[in-house]
Homo-oligomer: A and B are copies of this chain.
Amino acid sequence: MIIRKIPSEGLSHYSYFISAAGIAAVVDPRRDCEAYLELARDLDVRITSIFETHRNEDYVIGSLELASRTGAAIYHGSQISFAYGNAVKEGDTFRLGPVELRIIETPGHTFESISIIVTDREVSDLPYAVLTGDAIFAGDTGRTDFFGIERRAEVSALLYESIWKKIIPLGDGTLVLPAHGAGSVCGSTISDHEVTTVGYEKQTNPYLSLSKDEFMEKKVNEHHYLPPYFAQMEQMNQEGAPVLSHLPDLRPYLVDELRDIRENSQVLDIRSPTSFAGGHIKGSLSLWKDGIPAFAGWFLSYDHPIILVDDFNCHLREVSRHLLRLGYDNLEGYLAGGFPAYFKSGSPLGQFESWSVHDLARERKNGDLFLLDVRDIANVRKYGMIPEAHHIYVGELPGKLGEVPMDRKVAVYCDAGFKGSLGASYLAGKGYLRLANVLGGMGAYLRAGYPIEHAQ
Alpha-carbon separation in the docked complex, A246 to B38 (Å): 13
When distances are taken between beta carbons in the complex, the residues of chain B under 8 Å from A203 are 124, 126, 173
> Chain B CB within 10 Å — which of A37, A69, A174, A252 has the most?
A252
Which of A100-108, A144-152, A159-167, A311-319 lies at the binding interface?
Answer: A311-319
A423: CB under 8 A from chain B?
A: no
B340 pairs with A348, CB closer than 8 A: no
B252 pairs with A336, CB closer than 8 A: no
Chain A 352-395, CB-CB to B under 8 Å as 1, else 0, gives: 00101110000000000000000000000000000000000000
Chain A 1-27, CB-CB to B under 8 Å as 1, else 0, gives: 111000000000000000000100000
Complex interface residues of chain A between 129 and 144 (CB less than 8 A to chain B): 139
| Distance of A160 from chain B, by nearest CB (Å) | 20
Given contacts A173-B202, A195-B175, contact A345 B447 (CB under 8 A): yes
Nearest B-chain residue to A272, judged by Cβ: B311
A85: CB under 8 A from chain B?
A: no
Chain A 159-198, CB-CB to B under 8 Å as 1, else 0, gives: 0000000000001111100000000000000011111011
Alpha-carbon separation in the docked complex, A198 to B356 (Å): 50
A200: CB under 8 A from chain B?
A: yes
A346 pairs with B312, CB closer than 8 A: no
When distances are taken between beta carbons in the complex, the residues of chain B under 8 Å from A60 are none
A340 pairs with B417, CB closer than 8 A: yes
A45: CB under 8 A from chain B?
A: yes
Complex interface residues of chain A between 412 and 456 (CB less than 8 A to chain B): 416-418, 439-441, 443-448
Per the CB 8 Å criterion, the residue count for chain A at the interface is 89
B274 pairs with A339, CB closer than 8 A: yes
Which of A215-223, A224-232, A275-283, A397-405 lies at the binding interface?
Answer: A275-283
Nearest B-chain residue to A335, judged by Cβ: B44
B204 pairs with A123, CB closer than 8 A: yes
When distances are taken between beta carbons in the complex, the residues of chain B under 8 Å from A305 are none
A22 pairs with B193, CB closer than 8 A: no
Given contacts A191-B123, A346-B448, contact A272 B312 (CB under 8 A): yes
Nearest B-chain residue to A418, judged by Cβ: B340
A261: CB under 8 A from chain B?
A: no
Chain A 286-324, CB-CB to B under 8 Å as 1, else 0, gives: 000100000000000000000000011111100000000
Chain A 231-248, CB-CB to B under 8 Å as 1, else 0, gives: 000000000000001100
| Distance of A399 from chain B, by nearest CB (Å) | 28
| Distance of A12 from chain B, by nearest CB (Å) | 13
Alpha-carbon separation in the docked complex, A79 to B337 (Å): 40
A172 pairs with B194, CB closer than 8 A: no
A259: CB under 8 A from chain B?
A: no
A93: CB under 8 A from chain B?
A: no
B199 pairs with A311, CB closer than 8 A: no
- Name A348's contact: one of B69, B245, B356 (CB within 8 Å): B356
A417 pairs with B200, CB closer than 8 A: no
> Chain B CB within 10 Å — which of A356, A418, A441 has the most?
A356
Nearest B-chain residue to A70, judged by Cβ: B249
When distances are taken between beta carbons in the complex, the residues of chain B under 8 Å from A351 are 354, 356
B197 pairs with A174, CB closer than 8 A: yes
Nearest B-chain residue to A358, judged by Cβ: B348
Given contacts A120-B193, A126-B200, contact A272 B339 (CB under 8 A): yes
> CB within 8 Å of B: which residues of A?
1-3, 22, 37, 40-41, 44-46, 69-71, 120, 123-124, 126, 128, 139, 171-175, 191-195, 197-204, 245-246, 249-252, 254, 271-280, 289, 311-316, 336-340, 343-346, 348-349, 351, 354, 356-358, 416-418, 439-441, 443-448
In the A-B complex, list the 8 residue pairs whose CB atoms are closest, starting with the nearest: A173-B199, A274-B278, A172-B172, A275-B275, A346-B444, A346-B448, A346-B447, A278-B278
